[in-house]
Amino acid sequence: MSLKAVIKTGGKQYLIKEGDILEIEKIEAPLKKKISFKDVLLVFDKDEKLLEVGQPRVKAVVEAEVLEQKKAPKVQVIKYKAKTRYHRSRGHRQLKTKIKINKIKLEKKAPLKPKKEKETKNKK
């Protein structure tokens, strides 16, 4: 059974599956360290036999491993106003963490028990 999930980290949401490698906002963790994400918003199966939608989160844990800490390519920010001799130039490099998704664990739900029907007394 190949599970897929939607996790939330760094203010963004990512659609993941086991074995995926992705770059997310920086997480303070050393290399080769195992980390887990508990903000799991959705878990589903590619065969469409399982669908868990969180309200707001699903009781699941996504385990991952830190592969690399790095900086993204530089983004140039330029401000310019014509005829006033005003111009500013700045650069920014965002910090990123490269991770590999190892496992998606879903807590098993207890089967729902049918509710007992209350006996109603008919008054005549």
> Which pLDDT score, from 0 to 100, does residue 14 have?
96
Tokens of 118: 């209350």
Q: What is the pLDDT of residue 114?
A: 65
Q: What is the pLDDT of residues 97-121, one digit of tens each?
A: 999 999 999 887 655 556 667 666 6
Q: Report residue 55's pLDDT band, with 50, 70 and 90 as the boundaries.
A: confident
Q: What tokens does 72 get?
A: 């993204």
3-class DSSP assignment, residue 114:
coil
